[in-house]
Chain A
Amino acid sequence: MANNITLTIDGHQVTVDHGTSILDAAKKINIKIPTLCHHEDLCVAGNCRICVVEQVGKQTLTASCATPADNGMIILTSSPKIRRARKDIMALLVSEHNTQCTTCYRSTNCELQILSAEYNVDNSIYMSVLKDGDCKIDKASWSVEKDNSKCIRCQRCVRTCAEIQHVNALAVTERGKDMKISTFMHLPMNEIVCTNCGQCITHCPTGALTERRYYDEIWAAIDDPKKHVIINTAPAVRVALGEMLGYPVGTRVTGKMVTALKQMGFNSVLDTDFTADLTIIEEGTELLGRLKDALVHKKQVSLPMITSCSPGWIKFIEHMYPEHLGHLSSCKSPQQMFGALAKTYYAEKMGIDPASIVSVAAMPCAAKKFEANRPEMRDSGFQDIDAGLTTRELGYMIKQSGLNFQDLENNSFDTIMGESTGAAVIFGATGGVMEAALRTAYFLITGRNVPFENLNIMPVRGLEGIKAASIKFEKCLPEYSFLEGVEAKVAIAHGLKNARVIMDQIVAGTSPYHFVEVMACPGGCIGGGGQPIPTTNEIRQKRIDATYAEDMGKPIRMSHENPEVAQIYAEYLKVPLGEKSHHLLHTKYRKRNRY
């Protein structure tokens, strides 16, 4: 419907497409209307009512987010009536809120706090109606903390969990004064069907949903001279951490981040990218094995094979498709590969007692915290990763150290396990794992580079929910002659809603793909549940652009060319999927309850 609508907002005429909300029409002429329940990723709720405007001729005020613009409408976005009403709404929200902002993790990054100041709301307007029962914080999950006393019932988390992730772990429960955002029968977050993706956190306007924080424990380890504390930082952290530290969105801060971490006292600052490259070798070998089994040995194998880097996705498939776990690559995620190698290979090479190593992972992710605590992730003989930090926590730790981040010099990661390639860097963006895998696989199979300019496989990039592509193998090396003429079909899904589409095809037996990349979060890890807040599509795109820029700046851009990867196979792992790999780098999945 392309027919245009013309209306008047604060005296200015504006023409918008049919179906545009009054809120968006106002935005078009740079009039900002306050919002709380509104989020551009989500469907319209219209329940906080802070965005009310005056529609001339109407007795009541109009929720601008939930009302489509109509021809001839005359709208006022600021008037005594509106200001009074909005102030009352803010005062009401505050009266239901635990206003101890000084002890709130989201303080200074809280939409309620900002509006409360704008509308000059204090605690004395109305009496507190905060319920005692809401003041107990649910800290049962390794990943997500839920504090009902900070909840404003905007339902952004509920809509996120439903619309973006198709999980519906969070729901609106009860009614009236008892209405709250909760779980099935108010069970703690660790007992429900939750993927720990943390998207609810990044969509929460307040401190009601936050990641469980571990940085005090990490400081304690750093302060303990008997501990050797190492940190591996994920590719998506370096393109978003800057947002926590005063840089514009999309700024790469890799070198300064390394310096900061060294100055904070980490004994070694390493790169998750190293094990991302390793993942490509292991996972690529696994895929080629499956293809050979299917094509040469005519065996029944699970195809498509699906990536296993994203722990939110792993828990999702364990809950939702427990009968189809065979499609997952057995590779651990780069974080967990890193952890297993840190307390074995690294300890050996560096001559350090693995018992004294505290291995920290800085991740864009909430689910990584849960993953680190999976009982199966102890193949080194210790807990492989001791603690996972989000980008947000890392930002706060850096601030806490008193470093003037922007003035820090750039530094390189330490060795060993600090070397990476551009292929590993792009793991952070949706389609990145696929692109990295194709760069290496194509080379291994044909002895030539992928037939894309500058190795940039554009069809697998971008924010489209599901991307499909194919690549034909011709003039294969003798070892891979079974792939001669084969057109490999691949797909990339990000956001669990899209993962569900892929899985439903598999269940129905109609999936045309050989290899699929799935990331739990929209945009991939750069849009992860542990990333700076807010995250919108515009922000995702900027982080993605930064990611590919980082790739282009790398001297080596294919995983199999990473010298440290070559070294670890030569000195330690011997061969991909070998006995050591099998023990340290691969894992098994478990069936979980679906409901």
Chain B
Amino acid sequence: MADTKELINALSKKHGIERKSLLPILQGIVEKENYLSKDSMLEVAKVLDISAAEVYGTASFFSFLDTKERGQYVVRVCKSMTCDMKGKEEILSTIESVLKIKIGETSQDKKFSLLETNCLGLCEEGPAMIINDDYFVKLTPEKIREIFGRYLRNEI
């Protein structure tokens, strides 16, 4: 919690303490802590002097401001039309079997969370996914095993 406080303090110095600073601050927390914990949202409410309900209400609107605990690597597989056409289902089931988690779940070691997401704008190279900020395209089951192999071996 002390770390979270420091982090939010630093973020508020960088982005300001006006209402318009809310999104950048929340994004900064997610970047460091993978999600927005109850304590972090309360601290943001305090720093910006807005109600905690408003912080939560705003955060929960956006897909990338997770208010549920997430792992170090958040995998978002595109489920929009062209990725679906190109075999998203198979990609998902491969990831599920490699990481041993289902959609919406986080691995026990808190390393991975698996989510579906709407269009990533990588349609011409689907199926696609992003892991945190990095994107991966033209996915195949083999490619998935190779990518996550590297993550699992801590090569990324």
* B residues 49-72 touching A (CB-CB < 8 Å): 50-57, 60-62, 67
CA of A595 to CA of B38, assembled, Å: 11
A42 within 8 A of B: no
Which of B3-11, B40-48, B89-97, B124-132 is near enough to bind chain A?
B40-48
B41 contacts which chain A residues (CB < 8 A)? Answer: 184-185
In the complex, which residues 166-203 of chain A have their Cβ closer than 8 Å to any Cβ of chain B? 167-175, 182-185, 192-193
B67 touches A184 (CB 8 A): no
Tell whether A171 pairs with B38 under 8 Å between CB atoms, given A594-B46, A595-B45.
no
Contact of A185 among B61, B62, B67 (CB under 8 A): B67
Residues of A within 8 A of B (CB-CB), count: 17
In chain A, what residue has the closest Cβ to B47?
A: A595
Q: Is the CB of A175 within 8 A of B61?
A: yes
Cα A10 to Cα B41 with chains together (Å): 51
Evaluate whether A173 and B42 lie within 8 angstroms (CB atoms) in the complex, with A168-B50, A168-B51, A185-B67 already known.
Answer: no
Q: Do the beta carbons of A168 and B46 come within 8 Å of each other?
A: no
The interface residues of chain B lying within 8 Å CB-to-CB of A594 are: 46
CB distance from A177 to the nearest CB of B (A): 13
Interface SS of B by simple majority: helix
A185→B54 contact, CB < 8 A = no
A171–B61 contact, CB under 8 A? no
SS of A interface (majority): loop
Give Cα distance in the complex from A192 to B42, angstroms.
12
Q: How far is the CA of A183 from the CA of B54 in the complex (A)?
A: 9
Shortest CB-to-CB span from B123 to chain A, Å, is: 22
Chain B interface residue count, Cβ-Cβ cutoff 8 angstroms:
17
| Nearest chain B residue, comparing its CB with the CB of A179 | B61
A192 to B53, CA, bound (A): 9
Most buried by B among A167, A170, A184: A184
Provide the bound-state CA to CA distance between A232 and B147, in Å: 73
CB distance from B109 to the nearest CB of A (A): 25
Contact status B61-A184, CB under 8 Å: no
Q: Are A169 and B60 in contact (CB under 8 A)?
A: no
- Closest residue on chain A to residue B55 by CB atoms: A184
CB closest residue in chain A, given B57: A171
Given contacts A595-B42, A595-B45, contact A167 B51 (CB under 8 A): yes
Assess the B56–A184 pair: CB atoms within 8 A: yes
In the complex, what's the smallest C-beta–C-beta distance from B40 to chain A, in angstroms?
12
| Pair B51/A169 contact, Cβ less than 8 Å | yes
List of A residues within 8 angstroms of B62 by Cβ = 175
**Chain A proximity of B62: nearest CB distance (Å):** 8
Contacts of B61 in A (CB 8 A): 173-175
Q: Is the CB of B51 within 8 A of A173?
A: no
- Known contacts A595-B42, A595-B46; is A183 also within 8 Å of B53 by CB? yes
A289-B55 Cα distance, complex, nearest whole Å? 44
CB of B103 to closest CB in A, whole Å = 16
Query: Which residue of B has the minimal Cβ distance to A166?
Result: B51
Is the Cβ of A171 less than 8 Å from the Cβ of B56?
Answer: yes
By beta carbon, the residue of chain A nearest B67 is A185
Tell me the minimal C-beta distance from A165 to chain B in angstroms: 11
By a CB distance below 8 angstroms, the chain A residues around B57 are 171-173, 182
Shortest CB–CB separation between residue A445 and chain B, in angstroms?
Answer: 41
User: Quick check: B51 and A595 within 8 Å, CB to CB?
Assistant: yes
Looking across the interface, which residue of chain A has its beta carbon closest to that of B52? A184
Q: Is the CB of B53 within 8 A of A168?
A: yes
15 other A-B residue contacts (CB within 8 Å) besides A184-B52, A185-B56, A185-B67: A171-B51, A171-B53, A171-B56, A171-B57, A173-B56, A173-B61, A175-B60, A175-B61, A182-B53, A183-B53, A184-B53, A185-B38, A192-B52, A193-B51, A595-B45
Chain B contacts to A: CB under 8 angstroms: 38, 41-42, 45-46, 50-57, 60-62, 67
Listed from nearest, the 8 A-B pairs whose CB atoms lie closest are: A171-B57, A168-B51, A171-B53, A184-B52, A595-B45, A184-B53, A595-B52, A173-B60
